[in-house]
Amino acid sequence: MIDEVYSFTIPTYIKLLHHLRKHYQVIPLMKTTESKTPYLILRHDVDFSMEAAVRMAKIDYDAGIKATYSFLFSSNHYNLMERKALDSLLFISDLGHEVALHYDLKMYRKYKASLETSLKYELNLLERLTGKPVKSIIIHQFGLEQSDPFQNYPDIINGFNKELYDLYVSDSYRAWYREYLEKLFSFKYNRIQLLIHPSIWTDKPTIRSDVLRQIDALDFIMAWDGNPKIKENDLIKSSVG
């Protein structure tokens, strides 16, 4: 299974879900306080494509899974106030998935307001759009920030609160840290958080650089180039997937 997930294909993702369900209760962030271990938090950060998010939300739903989908108000690739994007947001919410706020501190610093005022405004707006309370927040591009001022924000779950998980596994930059994949599939951890970005998973194996170009992710590519944590051996198996 470890080698298979380097393909980043939808059929492999479906297989991965069913494999993980045999060992974990798969839950959204908002259910961590009421779920018994072992559990796996399934989180999707929607950075680029609402269409890809809808497709993955259907897959999760068909597998009997409710996940967390976090959305940006500052994305260059979709606008939650636009009708099509809003319809997608509501569709995902109506499937029973958790809708969370993906907040971007880089953008907040450009606004003529405090960081907290900006966060409250987006939380309120997201709640108005979905008609549901927003219970979780996730910072955008966590690795590029020195700190998170909302790490312990009252009465809301922060996705990077390390008290929620013992192991964090991410497909960011369309690369896997093999060490963490091996830990994931050891099934020795009781609390896991798995981050999956819907837009980087394709129907068939696709060259990584082509996928990044297809989603017009200039900020994504620049972030990877400047990230010393990703080593060449993390990308070897993903060079064709």
Quote the Cα angle for 206-209-213, to 5°. 100
Return the structure tokens found at 221: 């590519």
**What are residue 43's DSSP bridge partners?**
68, 195
pLDDT reported for residue 99: 98
pLDDT in tens, 38-73: 999 999 999 989 999 999 999 999 999 999 999 999
Please determine, for residue 207, whether its predicted confidence score (pLDDT) is greater than 80. yes
**CA pair distance 116, 192, nearest whole angstrom:** 29
Residue 76, pLDDT score: 86
How do residues 129-142 score in pLDDT, each as one tens digit?
999 999 999 999 88
Return the CATH fold of 4-235.
Answer: TIM Barrel (3.20.20)
The whole-angstrom separation of Cα 100 and Cα 133 is 9
Specify the DSSP class assigned to residue 34: G
Alpha-carbon gap, residue 132 to 191, rounded angstroms: 26
Distance CA 156, CA 167 (A): 21
For 230, the enclosing helix (H) or strand (E) is: none
The whole-number pLDDT of residue 218 equals 45
* Reported pTM: 0.90
The structure tokens 């999956």 sit at: 196
- The CA angle 37-185-178, to the nearest 5 degrees, is 125
Residue 162 to residue 32: CA distance in whole angstroms: 12
Segment 154-172 shows an average pLDDT of: 95
Distance between CA 194 and CA 212 in Å, rounded?
Answer: 21
